[in-house]
Amino acid sequence: MRLGGSKTRLFLMTSIFLGPCILIIALFWISPVFSTVFLSFTDMSLRRPEWHFVGLRNYEYIGKHPFITKVAINTAIYVSATLAWNVLVGLFLSLLSFYVDDRSSLLFRALWLLPRASPPVVYGLLWLWVLDSSEYGLLNQLIMPITKKPIPWLVDYAMPAIIIINGFIGASFSLIVFSSALKAIPPDYIMAARVDGASELRIIKDIILPLMKWPILFVTAWQTLSLLASYEYILIVTDGGPFYDTEVWSLFAYHQAFKHLELGFGAALAMVLVIVALIIVLIQMKVFKFRRMITPVKIEHT
Amino acid sequence: MPERAMLIGVILLIIGLIIGVGIGYGVWGTVPAKTVTTTTTVTAAAETVTTTVTTTLPATTVTTTTTTTVTTTVPAVTPKKAVISVLAAGDPASVTRKDNVIKACKRLSLLFKILDIPITIEVDEEKSEYFRGKWPEYEKKIWAAYEAKELWDIIAVGHEWIPTLAEKGIIIPLDDYVKKYWDFAFSDIPETLWEAVKYKGHIWAIPQDTEARPVYIWIPALKALGWTEEEIKALPEKVKKGEFTLDDMLELAKKAVDMGVVKYGILHRPSPGAELWQIILAYGGRLWDPEKGKMVLVKSATLKALQWFRKAVDMGVLPSDMTTWSWRAIHTAVVSGQTMFWFGGTWHWAEWQKVPYHPELGAVPEEYLWEHFIFTLVPPGVKGGKPVTISHPFVYVITSQADDPDLAALVLAMVTQPEFDVAHAVGSAHIPVKKSSLEHPGMKQAKFLSAVAYMLDYTSFEPMHPLWGKYKDILFKAIQAVELKKMTPEEALKFIEDSIKADPELVKAVEIVE
């Protein structure tokens, strides 16, 4: 009896504490996945009063679309290049801030957080002004004395432009994670190495970087997923153009669903992205040994 | 130390936020609610009323005085009160699309009051809106309002939206209302405009305005090339007769650029729009088959048009990145004489006078425009061919969620009266929808509109098909690819064809002909 009572109490307590959280997850995370799956098998459009189940027609259309390969390649280039920028620049900046005094480092990090703190539209519009094709664009004003004529940055260098624009946002995230990881490295190691006569480069290579393995892996995994799904800065700056040059998969899905109002086709594109993201997550979990990554902090145990 | 400083910083930030919120509440709390126009309600009485109403309507640029004599037997009417809201959109000069409806409501209220008709019309000015943004955003706004059952009573849209809105049940057919108010308001609207609002045998909208899309030519550049006044004046006629073609246009533009008379030879719009499809029509193509209700891709004409765009870029007269320009940069280049030709619209004539695009002069006076621009139809692709233009009639629709469709229809009958029609036409450089409007005193000021009115004889419309938005996006992308030299014209044509064939819906909606 007592055991039963305690079980009931346990169940009640669990429900009270976890219930709201589970409900929120079910409402806002799980149900959209199900509705996306459902929508992707329909021809639902905001332009038509009725909709039908169309089986795999939307998925067939994805395969047949004349520019789907270009969109896929764009996505691969965008995600990998931005990821590399995020991790490398973030790492470099955190190391830089590690070597300056606390107050300057705080100011430095705060400055790098500005792009993330600014509203995306403001940040995007600022870049539009910087990269404007006319002679009035900021970058063109700076280089015109040399080039003599304005450069259409968002036409000739559209993909590098969106990689850099997104890169600055991502780098600030990496900077925060890496900076805190650097702070967690016991200073004794570094002092001991210095006493032994190790150069700073050697300290970074043989002490800091090995101890930063887990945060680097975490940032890589996390940023891969968020970059796959991100499109807002591309939408503001180039809108996928010129002529599919910066059209990445998530933006392509957005255009189908919210520009052409084809919810069914847009959902099918989103589903493909979800599946690709899941596969990447599984691969990363294997390669990066995720299970070990989420165990308590390694540094104290080494 | 830094931790302490940070802590103090955070505390100060929180205090600042609290003070800010307090001030915000204080300020907002004192703002009075927006006023809503209301007329008085009077008791019904069956009687015969003969009254003369003389009112002065302050329009955007015209002030018209109208005298109306109304003799009518007023039946005993049940007192009622209606709230009308309107949504409209367009260029900065066309705000009369919304304002005219509001004024018409007020005019009706005044008449009801004078005639002792116990009907009250309120204009929901809070909800009524003139939208300035991209067309897909406008479309989304309407769908979202429909789903939320928050639609406006009257909406102004492009005529090609009618099939979509009708199929979705967002708008109601207006056949009975058109019949009822035929003599009062609609009898002198040309048949072509009624064709533009018919779908599946019903009339779904009331024409609001129409326009033409002329080619503007910079007169000082022609003069610098040695053209005489007579030759310049004769150019529109030469275009009409098919003696001046699109290729002649390229040659002339090249000459002007090579001589350094202008910076650019030709500029066109940067986004999908009728100005671009006009080139396809100029080469004998068509986009719409009204008999079959299908959109059309004429491959030969489309290829010639794509080749013309590429030739313009290759000759150095059309910027390769034209489709990435901002509207402001384009208008600035046009009004300051940096381009020889501009594929524009009649409404630009008004826009240039209202928006400060000129780097030194700001908004330019109309005399400036007459001195510097001549305008023609879009020249034909071949000698002896027919010049073209595309019109895009704007229309008023009544939504299925309108509180009182009968009253909304009466408002539309009122807003179609010449004084409103003319106020909008003159203020926005659109062509009035009523024949009688052309004789209105207000039109005497509108020398430009009289000068372009002949273009309607050469006009056609964009397809009235729910999937036209999708089709035109493909056409635009093909033109963009050709101009950016990412595709040859032949490849771009194949891209259009493949895109249509790959799309399970477009393939049924577009007829592809050689």
Smallest Cβ–Cβ distance between B486 and the set A243, A258, A260 belongs to A243
The per-residue pLDDT for range B235-283, each reduced to its tens digit, is 999 999 999 999 999 999 999 999 999 999 999 999 999 999 999 999 9
**B146 to chain A nearest CA, in Å?**
10
- Measured between CA atoms, the residue of chain B closest to residue A58 is B504
Determine the residue type at B381: G
Q: Residue B40: is its pLDDT beyond 60?
A: no
Give the fold, CATH level 3, of A70-247.
MetI-like fold (1.10.3720)
Q: Does A57 touch chain B (CB under 8 A)?
A: yes
Q: What pLDDT score does B135 carry?
A: 81
Q: Of the ranges A186-200, B56-70, B128-142, B468-482, which one carries the lowest mean pLDDT score?
A: B56-70
Domain locations in chain A? 32-64+249-289, 70-247
The per-residue pLDDT for range A186-235, each reduced to its tens digit, is 889 989 999 999 898 999 999 998 888 888 888 988 899 999 999 999 99
Q: What pLDDT score does B17 carry?
A: 58
The DSSP bridge partners found for residue B482 are none
Chain A residues close to B323, C-beta within 8 Å: 241-242
* Average pLDDT across chain A, whole number: 88
Cβ B194 vs Cβ B207: under 8 Å: yes
Q: What pLDDT score does A241 carry?
A: 80
- What is the pairing mode between strands B459-461 and B389-391? parallel
CA distances (Å), A270 to each of B325, B341, B434, in order? 31, 44, 49
The per-residue pLDDT for range B388-423, each reduced to its tens digit, is 999 989 999 999 999 999 999 999 999 999 999 999
Q: Residue B58: is its pLDDT beyond 60?
A: no
Look at B167 and A49 and tell me if their CB atoms are within 8 Å: yes
Q: Residue B23: is its pLDDT beyond 70?
A: no
Collapsed DSSP state (helix, strand, coil) of residue B213: coil
Q: What pLDDT score does B14 carry?
A: 64
Q: What pLDDT score does B7 carry?
A: 63
Distance CA A60, CA A53 (A): 14
Look at A66 and B495 and tell me if their CB atoms are within 8 Å: yes
Please return the burial class of A159, using the count of CB atoms within 10 Å of its CB with bins 0-12, 13-18 and 19+.
Answer: middle
- Measured between CA atoms, the residue of chain B closest to residue A105 is B2
Chain A residues close to B478, C-beta within 8 Å: none
The per-residue pLDDT for range B472-494, each reduced to its tens digit, is 999 999 999 999 999 999 999 99
Q: Does A102 touch chain B (CB under 8 A)?
A: yes
Could you give the count of Cα atoms lying within 13 Å of B345 in the half-sphere of its Cβ?
A: 21
Distance CA B109, CA B117 (A): 9
Q: What pLDDT score does B32 carry?
A: 38
Q: What pLDDT score does B33 carry?
A: 37
Alpha helices in A45-186 (DSSP H): 57-64, 68-98, 102-117, 120-130, 138-147, 153-156, 158-184
If you search the block for the tokens 């969109």, which residue do you land on?
A71
- Measured between CA atoms, the residue of chain A closest to residue B140 is A258
Q: What is the mean pLDDT of residues A226-251?
A: 93
Q: Residue B62: is its pLDDT beyond 70?
A: no
Q: Residue B69: is its pLDDT beyond 50?
A: no
pLDDT band at B64 (very low <50, low <70, confident <90, very high): very low
Cβ B267 vs Cβ B342: under 8 Å: yes
**A221 to chain B nearest CA, in Å?**
32
CA proximity to A272, closest of A286, A253, A257: A253
Chain A residues close to B168, C-beta within 8 Å: 46-49
Q: What is the mean pLDDT of residues B33-61?
A: 38
Q: Does A152 touch chain B (CB under 8 A)?
A: yes
Q: Does A109 touch chain B (CB under 8 A)?
A: no
Look at B325 and A133 and tell me if their CB atoms are within 8 Å: yes
pLDDT band at B386 (very low <50, low <70, confident <90, very high): very high
Cβ B364 vs Cβ B352: under 8 Å: yes
Smallest Cβ–Cβ distance between B324 and the set A54, A154, A260 belongs to A154
Q: Residue B55: is its pLDDT beyond 70?
A: no
Cβ B408 vs Cβ B154: under 8 Å: yes
Look at A241 and B504 and tell me if their CB atoms are within 8 Å: no
Q: Residue B30: is its pLDDT beyond 60?
A: no
The per-residue pLDDT for range A104-141, each reduced to its tens digit, is 888 888 888 888 888 889 999 999 889 988 777 899 88
Tell me, what's the ipTM?
Answer: 0.75
Q: What pLDDT score does A288 carry?
A: 75
Which range of A96-100, A263-267, B38-42, B188-192 scores highest in mean pLDDT? It is: A263-267
Smallest Cβ–Cβ distance between A155 and the set B324, B495, B502 belongs to B324
Q: Does A63 touch chain B (CB under 8 A)?
A: no
Look at B466 and A48 and tell me if their CB atoms are within 8 Å: yes
Q: Does A47 touch chain B (CB under 8 A)?
A: yes
* Average pLDDT across chain B, whole number: 86
Q: What is the mean pLDDT of residues A154-180?
A: 91
If you search the block for the tokens 């590429």, which residue do you land on?
B310
Distance CA B208, CA B412 (A): 9
Chain B residues close to A50, C-beta within 8 Å: none
Q: What pLDDT score does A301 carry?
A: 47
Look at B324 and A48 and tell me if their CB atoms are within 8 Å: no
Look at B502 and A66 and tell me if their CB atoms are within 8 Å: yes
Q: Give the count of Cβ contacts less than 8 A between chain A and B.
A: 68
- B-contacting residues of A 66-95, CB under 8 Å? 66
Q: What pLDDT score does B85 carry?
A: 95
Q: Give this prediction's pTM.
A: 0.76
Cβ B274 vs Cβ B392: under 8 Å: yes
Chain B residues close to A49, C-beta within 8 Å: 167-169
Cβ B500 vs Cβ B512: under 8 Å: yes
